[in-house]
Chains A and B, each alone.
Chain A
Amino acid sequence: MILCLTLILLAQLVGEALARATDLPVPGPLIGMALLLLFLALRDRAPRLAPRVLAPALVDGRLEGTGKGLLANLSLMFVPAGAGIVGRLDVLAVHGIALALVVLISTVATLAATALTFVAVSRWLAKAKPKAEPTIERRRPLP
């Protein structure tokens, strides 16, 4: 477990360093995510070599378990920052209601627009070339 955490932290560390060095508008942890993705892809490209070169914890599913354990408690990690926000709600005071309305309407619009676009494009593609891209729904017999 320590080894898995170390790998995750190492990916973040390299990501932070790259973010600083290149001035990309992407936070270090997101670059770290891309690096870990690259690691996983390379690991499975060499299914015979990987177990010999890498420690067992990195190939037998423990890495996946550690990562999923972290993600299962993602909600917890927003609590400290959120509690700080409660103390700073005074910055909203002047435009409070107008700001709250903008946030509410804009968030609903964004959620709806994103999901509708996703569904529309994916349906359109499924119709355009049903043979090249058999979707899961199509294989199933209709009830």
Chain B
Amino acid sequence: MTGDFAVWVYLSRTPLLWLTVTLMAYVVADRIAQATNRHPLANPVLVAIALTACVLEVTGTPYATYFEGAQFVHFLLGPATVALAIPLYEYRATVLRSLAPMLAALVVGSVVALASALLLGRAFGIPRDVIVALAPKSVTTGVAMGIAQTLGGDPTLAAVIVMLTGMTGGILVTPLMNLMRIRDMRARGFAAGLAAHGVGTARAFQVNEVAGAFAGIALGLNAFLTAILAPVAVTFLR
């Protein structure tokens, strides 16, 4: 065994290497996003994931080894979700004034997300067990996996679809809202959080703090409502 290789073998097994790789991928992705003036396609989540996946592929690193290091970053999702309370509290006056539009948008959005997934899935001839994993696609990963499992779907497939939905929503929300001439940051943020959970919320926070606060609320409310509606909606599938 050559000296260089021994160093690699040692480093590739410590959390330090993969934690650093994750942070570096994000720093590069964030610089690209800044350089393109936060262009929707240069979404830092998407770019950082692509970079990290490339490094893992090239070095032939198993995901479990990578996660030993990356888990420290992954863990922060929990505290960050708790911290959503801070912008929510800061903009409480705006939020309380928007209660009626929020609730209406929540019900319409949640129903459209579920119904469109089920109906389109059936129209495209996707089998029932896959459609079940598709149903909670706009909900935050943990809840979506739980819903899919309860309904007899594959939780891993649900997680993959949730991430795809997050990416799609995070990339499309800005151009779509511009196209529809919706300038209300409350509406834009709420839509991003409802349709694209945490990834949409992350995008909203990059654009505007009010949008971020509303995205956070939408994320929480939709997780709750979808958990109630999804089992009911799936019974209509025959």
Q: Are A and B physically bound partners?
A: yes
Residues of A within 8 A of B (CB): 5, 8-9, 11-12, 15, 25-30, 32-37, 40-41, 63-64, 66-68, 70-89, 91-92, 95, 98-119, 121-122, 125, 133
Complexed CA–CA distance, A107 and B48 (Å): 22
Q: Is the CB of B78 within 8 A of A76?
A: no
Complexed CA–CA distance, A112 and B168 (Å): 13
Q: Is the CB of B172 within 8 A of A108?
A: yes
Complexed CA–CA distance, A16 and B238 (Å): 36
Complexed CA–CA distance, A72 and B44 (Å): 12
Complexed CA–CA distance, A29 and B141 (Å): 13
Complexed CA–CA distance, A107 and B52 (Å): 26
- B19 to chain A: closest residue by CB: A80
Q: Is the CB of A119 within 8 A of B112?
A: no
A-B contact pairs, 7 of them (CB 8 A): A26-B143, A26-B223, A27-B143, A64-B86, A75-B202, A85-B164, A114-B194
Complexed CA–CA distance, A84 and B196 (Å): 18
Residue of A64, A76, A87, A125 ringed by the most chain B CB atoms within 10 A:
A76
Residues of B within 8 A of A (CB): 22-23, 25-26, 29-30, 43-45, 48-50, 52-53, 56, 63, 66-67, 70-71, 73-74, 76-90, 97-98, 100-102, 104-106, 108-109, 112-113, 116-117, 120-121, 124-127, 130, 134, 137-138, 140-143, 146-147, 154, 156-157, 159-161, 163-166, 168-169, 172-173, 176-177, 180, 182, 184, 186-188, 190-192, 194-196, 198-199, 201-203, 205-206, 212, 216, 218, 220, 223-224, 227-228
Q: Is the CB of B100 within 8 A of A110?
A: no
Query: How far, in Å, is A111 (CB) from chain B's closest CB?
Result: 5
Q: Is the CB of A83 within 8 A of B194?
A: no
Chain B residues with Cβ under 8 A from A26's Cβ?
A: 143, 220, 223-224, 227
Complexed CA–CA distance, A85 and B156 (Å): 9
Q: Is the CB of B67 within 8 A of A84?
A: yes
Complexed CA–CA distance, A101 and B126 (Å): 11
Q: A85-B49, A99-B134 are in contact. List 10 more A-B contacts (CB 8 A).
A: A25-B143, A27-B223, A37-B88, A71-B205, A71-B212, A74-B80, A85-B164, A106-B113, A110-B113, A115-B187
Chain B residues with Cβ under 8 A from A89's Cβ?
A: 160
Complexed CA–CA distance, A36 and B154 (Å): 33
Q: A36-B83, A103-B137 are in contact. Are A80 and B194 (CB under 8 A)?
A: no
Q: Is the CB of A82 within 8 A of B113?
A: no
Complexed CA–CA distance, A25 and B98 (Å): 25
Q: A79-B25, A111-B191, A118-B101 are in contact. Are A106 and B137 (CB under 8 A)?
A: yes
Chain A residues with Cβ under 8 A from B45's Cβ?
A: 75, 78-79, 82
